[in-house]
Structure 1
């Protein structure tokens, strides 16, 4: 292999390793992300006046029918696992020099913010449904049906936006009349 080819593969491997390192860190620290999400959701829901919520660890709790109820932001409910693909993909694209680092950083930052927002809306919908339909019925309707719809639509939109951002390569344009 020529020196430029070895350098290109070295950059690709370095990019992949960086993306995988961030992915592993998110995977290993998902509970810390879930605790931050519960804290953020409790503040969001209280701020909107939907319920007087608090967070305890990775749980969001609030009074309902003269008792405290809530939900736990578990592995499946946390945004942590959804954050891994944008980091890994962006690192690979930068490593293979398909995307510049600034473009990848913007795409990842936007994906992270939007995924967190989508998940916060989903968690707030759980609180709203539990207040509207009661603990058991509200949780089941919002977690299974409403929450899944919010997550699916949000994830698809974020993925499309991410791909549009990293797919817009800054390639030189052809000069008209050039062959």
Structure 2
């Protein structure tokens, strides 16, 4: 039988509500996040020598076949939507005291960083595909097929890492430390 600590549900509710509030702010400000992603992607694409890219708001533009082309980081393509599950889960687990605050912050920070990296790889794949197959065919292939593969593989890796970080029990940590 599991005994409930007094106030455990209150802490869990507070943690969950905090996570939902941060997730709501993330949704509300998704365009700002998308604009930051476009800015970062343009810098990374340029630094890697893939294209002389620039960003305008949430759009990444670059020269292709003697004209400027680009793509928009929309709400469905932004990392903002991908951030919501780990934000809510980490804050709820901290609220339930299933994990410590430092462990929750560490797991969340790593998840956020890796999700940003995965999405930047996906956006870079769009640029490479458009250069390889042309504007229309390159965008279609990278957005539908290549981008989905990158995002799915990345989400699986991030989910596994997140779960490993939050699931290590105190007993397992004590055993590793030699404390009984």
- If the TM-score is normalised by the length of the shorter chain, which range does it land in? over 0.9
Q: For residue 94 of structure 1, what is the aligned residue in structure 2?
A: 94
Q: For residue 115 of structure 1, what is the aligned residue in structure 2?
A: 115
Give the drift of 1:6. Answer: 4.1
Equivalent residue pairs, number: 172
Q: For residue 143 of structure 1, what is the aligned residue in structure 2?
A: 143
Q: For residue 32 of structure 2, what is the aligned residue in structure 1?
A: 32
- Output the CA distance in 1 between the equivalents of 2:143 and 2:13: 39
Q: For residue 76 of structure 2, what is the aligned residue in structure 1?
A: 76
Q: For residue 160 of structure 2, what is the aligned residue in structure 1?
A: 160
Q: Note the aligned Cα RMSD (angstroms).
A: 1.5
Q: For residue 66 of structure 1, what is the aligned residue in structure 2?
A: 66
Runs of 4+ in 1 over 3 A off after TM superposition: none
- Output the CA distance in 1 between the equivalents of 2:139 and 2:8: 51
Give the drift of 1:5. Answer: 4.0
- Output the CA distance in 2 between the equivalents of 1:27 and 1:6: 33
- Output the CA distance in 1 between the equivalents of 2:62 and 2:9: 53
SS at match of 1:16: helix
Give the drift of 1:73. Answer: 0.0
- Output the CA distance in 2 between the equivalents of 1:39 and 1:6: 47
SS at match of 1:74: coil
- Output the CA distance in 1 between the equivalents of 2:107 and 2:6: 28
Query: Any stretches of 5+ residues in structure 2 without a counterpart?
Result: none
- Output the CA distance in 1 between the equivalents of 2:83 and 2:28: 13
TM-score in terms of structure 2 length = 0.92
Query: Any stretches of 5+ residues in structure 1 without a counterpart?
Result: none
Q: For residue 133 of structure 1, what is the aligned residue in structure 2?
A: 133
Q: Deviations over 1:28-53 (max 9, x none)?
A: 00000000000000000000000000
TM-score in terms of structure 1 length = 0.93
SS at match of 2:146: helix
- Output the CA distance in 2 between the equivalents of 1:107 and 1:162: 6
